[in-house]
Amino acid sequence: MNRIRRAWIIVALGTLCVLAGCESGGHFTILGYTTRPPFDPNIRTVYVPIPKNTSWTKDIEFDLQTAVLNELNTRAGAPRVTSDRNRADTELEMKITATTKTSVIINQLGEVRNGQLTWQIEVIWRDLRKDHYGDILSNKKRFDPQEKPLPGDPAAQAPQAVPYVVTPNADYIPELGGSNVTANVYAARSAARQIVNMMEMWK
């Protein structure tokens, strides 16, 4: 009898815990852990134009755009990509400003045995929604036009578009078939992960 009563108590406690953690949208939270994606649910779409490229390495902007689109499409809860800027909630602007290649290890003939490729990317995530237009989501400080200034302070102004800088790097080993091409692909994927991580809600 004691075993049956103990089993019922455990089931009842478990049910209460689950019910207490249930949230809207089918997600739930238990002991500080949640199944809710770390993205703002109010931002539904994002427009991703072809990144600008002012570096010496040409055509890598297409690799970066493809990598970012793939990363967004594979993240649960991330804003959905749209091809129409006029219907997008946000816009993700990217600019590749520099690429550098470094020889980490060279062999006895002076040839590269292990190299590293580094990109420098400036990212600006703009809010295009009417009630938030002008807000820069890639900045930690959000702009609220309804916020009243303190006595003696000027009215709040929209924040400047200070870029969020991403510096992905990728190693390549020519002796194992690595090249600048493969390194650029890996750098683009690393940049995409960092950029989409930036789009998560600030804590």
Domain locations in the chain?
1-36, 38-198
In whole angstroms, how far apart are CA 74 and each of 68, 71, 117, 186, 196? Answer: 10, 5, 25, 17, 11
pTM of the shown model? 0.74
- The three-state secondary structure class of 125 is strand
pLDDT at residue 155, rounded to an integer: 72
pLDDT at residue 203, rounded to an integer: 44
pLDDT at residue 156, rounded to an integer: 66
Residues of the chain with pLDDT under 50: 203
Question: In angstroms, rounded to a whole number, what is the distance separating the alpha carbons of residues 157 and 132?
Answer: 13
Per-residue tokens: 39:
């993205």
Question: In angstroms, rounded to a whole number, what is the distance separating the alpha carbons of residues 36 and 24?
Answer: 10
Question: In angstroms, rounded to a whole number, what is the distance separating the alpha carbons of residues 171 and 178?
Answer: 9
Residue 55 backbone dihedrals phi, psi, to 5 degrees: -85, 175
- CATH of 38-198 given 3.40.50.880, 3.30.160.150, 3.30.1490.20, 2.40.30.10: 3.30.160.150
pLDDT at residue 67, rounded to an integer: 97
Residue 167 backbone dihedrals phi, psi, to 5 degrees: -130, 75
- β-pair partners for 112: 106
Per-residue tokens: 172:
């390549």
Per-residue tokens: 116:
């590293």
Question: In angstroms, rounded to a whole number, what is the distance separating the alpha carbons of residues 202 and 7?
Answer: 42
Q: What rounded mean pLDDT belongs to the chain? A: 81
pLDDT at residue 136, rounded to an integer: 84
CB atoms within 10 A of CB 146: 6
- The three-state secondary structure class of 131 is helix
In whole angstroms, how far apart are CA 30 and each of 20, 26, 171? Answer: 8, 13, 40
Residue whose C-alpha is closest to residue 139's, from 157, 159, 121: 159
